[in-house]
Amino acid sequence: MSEKTVTLDNMNPNMKNMDFALLGPMAIRAKEIENELTKGVKKPFTEVIKTHIGDCHAMGQKPLTFLRQVLTLCTYPVFMKDERFPDDVKKRARDILKFCGGESVGSYSDSAGIEIIKKHVAQYIERRDGIPTNYLDIILSAGATQGIQNVLSLFKCFDKGKPSGVMIPIPQYPVYSATIAEYGMHPIYYYLDEDNTWALNIKELKHAVAESRNVCQPRVLVVINPGNPTGSVLT
């Protein structure tokens, strides 16, 4: 009998080291309780409120009408003739479709994203921050997690025989530590100052770097702003 190609013993060890807290025991138990409630099991409560993840819509937040309407017209342009959709929604949908192959969102886009949307992003950054922005420097991602993974992948290598070190705050959003483990990089934890509204402390950063140099090459500093889950904001 031939041996199995992939087993727990010969698979990528980085995958076994990954720990994504949002999918941990607490989240699993919450799902079990939800299923029990659905089946009619009596409990002293009627719903599970998930405060560990920013899934606003799942918790009842209403979506922005403009965005939903633009998405509707982009995916089903027949509704362009429907008077229930405002003119500004139709214009935005037409603008987007013009930059899609065959004027269809089902076509392939550039790897960095649809050009007109990148231009809108650049214009927004200029209005918000007053920084001249070139849309060619904008890369769109399928959510924040993919963006984080894309950036960290640039440092997924050994330098002078040591893995790249990534500085991440404690407390932090678990996608950072999970991605670092997946890529075989080394986490360098630095603690936020709880007594000072969870502020970033330069002395703590220097200490964390010094402590890690014997096991990795510190190359990345992750600063989460606004803080997640602390809510602190850098000024």
Sign of CA dihedral 52, 54, 56, 58: negative
CA-to-CA distance for 166 and 192, rounded, in angstroms?
A: 16
Please work out, in degrees rounded to the nearest 5, the angle formed at the alpha carbon of residue 71 by the alpha carbons of 62 and 54.
40
Crossing angle, helix 65-75 and helix 87-98, to 10 degrees? 50
Using DSSP, state whether 124 is helix, strand or coil: helix
Question: pTM higher than 0.85 for the full model?
Answer: no
* Domain range list for the chain: 59-137, 144-221
Per-residue pLDDT of the chain (235 residues; tens, 9 = 90+): 577 888 888 888 888 777 766 667 888 898 999 999 999 999 999 998 877 777 888 888 999 999 999 999 999 999 999 999 999 999 999 999 999 999 999 999 999 999 999 999 999 999 999 999 999 999 999 989 999 999 999 999 998 899 999 999 999 888 899 999 999 999 999 999 999 999 999 999 999 999 999 999 999 999 999 888 888 888 7
Using DSSP, state whether 156 is helix, strand or coil: coil
Phi (first) and psi of residue 124, to 5 degrees: -65, -45
Crossing angle, helix 115-129 and helix 87-98, to 10 degrees? 120
CA-to-CA distance for 117 and 140, rounded, in angstroms?
A: 9
Residue 169 and residue 190 in contact, taking contact as beta carbons nearer than 8 Å: yes
The CATH class given to the 59-137 domain equals mainly alpha
Phi (first) and psi of residue 28, to 5 degrees: -65, -40
pLDDT at site 25? 80
pLDDT at site 198? 93
pLDDT at site 190? 96
Fold of 144-221: Cobalt-precorrin-4 Transmethylase; domain 1 (3.40.1010)
